Chains A and B, each alone.
Chain A
């Protein structure tokens, strides 16, 4: 009796894993079979999210600098400001806010879109014509998002640094070249293993 139950849940577990593998494989195939849809989705997702990411990153960069500046000044370490901001922004804040914004904006958009497609029987129509709607509609969006989020994160980093540079300039003029070289100097330090682990999270 008990044995049977265990068997059943084991079975479920493995078939679940099997389904996941099949789903992933289908996605991989779809990547090659619907490139146009993929590009289109990528374009929409990028364009929809870019302004939001730019504004947020800019403000975050500015605020981070403004907030850290008095403390660093108290310790007489104002020169470290660009380095500190760039490390924290590029390694942590940039990717995190991009990911959060995308999760909020893109996923709710996709949710609404799929809902509308379901109601107007478009998904049924695809299924009847021999297309797996899951592959075509969902996979293209997932793959497009997967590629776009790193790109958006990169842009967010750049804009964040720009914001930071501008806010430093509100107190004292500083050349852009100096700012950038300081910022990237501190990034050049090798990552400690613990840091690498934290970025995985």
Chain B
């Protein structure tokens, strides 16, 4: 299988705080990889390095065959249009309504679409996350979980080849979290997307991920499938599963 994301020997430090220390992994097409780790261990930083919101200090990142660190701004945008990124806090544009949030994403990337098609697409995406009734609301009028779901809808709307989920279910009730997890699986099956799922929510991880990695002290501590890691007696791993 061809890898869609390849990361080699990634190092990132903020001043003296060495957050990522020699991270390497491959994400293959159609694979759902979960990344686990304690709060503040650098999971979000890793995800942001992959889309180059943060420039790493050392290492190599290839996404969809392109060397991310060598691209100029225009080429980088081309690659980014094929990656969906769901931010930990949702990052909805709070001066726009839900509908405008979704439209904005589409209009920026696929300009040739006509109005009726766009409307259909927006409604379909919102229906997918069960939020059709909130289409004219402002982000400030939504609950935390609703914001998350809108953020998911906003990313799914342009059917990216790779989706990076930064804690997609954190802060949601178990039922909604389960729905989001199912949504992740649905999308993955329907469009054969590859996903990088950063999460503490073990139920979500169990449902969605076919490969798990655990970060401690800036590098991968261990990796494997759910079944492999679940068996482990290592206290560092045990804590996540019990």
* A binding-site residues for B, Cβ under 8 Å: 40, 113, 116-117, 120-122, 124-131
Of the candidates A40, A117, A122, A129, the one whose C-beta lies within 8 Å of that of B80 is A129
CB neighbours of A116 from chain B (8 A):
94
Interface residue? B128 (CB, 8 A) = no
Known: A130-B80, A130-B81. Contact between A125 and B108, CB under 8 A?
no
B94 near A120: Cβ-Cβ < 8 Å:
yes
Q: Pick the contact of A124 from B81, B91, B108 — CB < 8 Å?
A: B91
Residue-wise interface mask of B (84-95) relative to A, using a CB-CB cutoff of 8 A (1 in contact, 0 not): 010111011111
Min CB distance, B71 to chain A, in Å? 13
Shortest C-beta distance, A30 to chain B (Å), equals: 12
Near A by CB (< 8 A), chain B positions 43-97 give 48, 51, 53, 77-78, 80-81, 83, 85, 87-89, 91-95
Contact B105 A129, beta carbon cutoff 8 Å: yes
* Majority SS at the chain A contact face: helix
Give 27 pairs: A residue, B residue, CB < 8 Å, sorted on A: A113-B95, A116-B94, A117-B93, A117-B94, A120-B91, A121-B87, A121-B91, A122-B91, A122-B94, A124-B48, A124-B53, A124-B87, A125-B87, A125-B93, A127-B53, A127-B80, A128-B80, A128-B83, A129-B80, A129-B105, A129-B108, A129-B109, A130-B77, A130-B78, A130-B80, A130-B108, A131-B104
Chain B residues near A (Cβ < 8 Å): 48, 51, 53, 77-78, 80-81, 83, 85, 87-89, 91-95, 104-105, 108-109
- Name the B residues within 8 Å of A120 (CB-CB): 89, 91, 94
Query: Is the Cβ of B91 less than 8 Å from the Cβ of A125?
Result: yes
Interface residue from A117, A125, A131 paired with B85 (Cβ < 8 Å): A125
| Chain A positions within 8 Å of B85 at CB level | 125, 128
Question: What CA separation (Å) do A116 and B87 show in the bound complex?
Answer: 15
A130 → chain B, closest Cβ, in Å? 4
| CA gap between A181 and B78 in the complex, in Å | 62
| A113–B25 CA distance with the chains assembled, in angstroms | 38
CB–CB B93/A130 < 8 A:
no
Is B105 within 8 A of A122, CB to CB?
no
Taking CB atoms, residues of chain A closer than 8 Å to B109 are: 129-130
CB neighbours of A124 from chain B (8 A): 48, 53, 87, 91
Chain B hits for A122, CB < 8 A: 91-94
Give Cα A80 to B219, complex, Å. 81
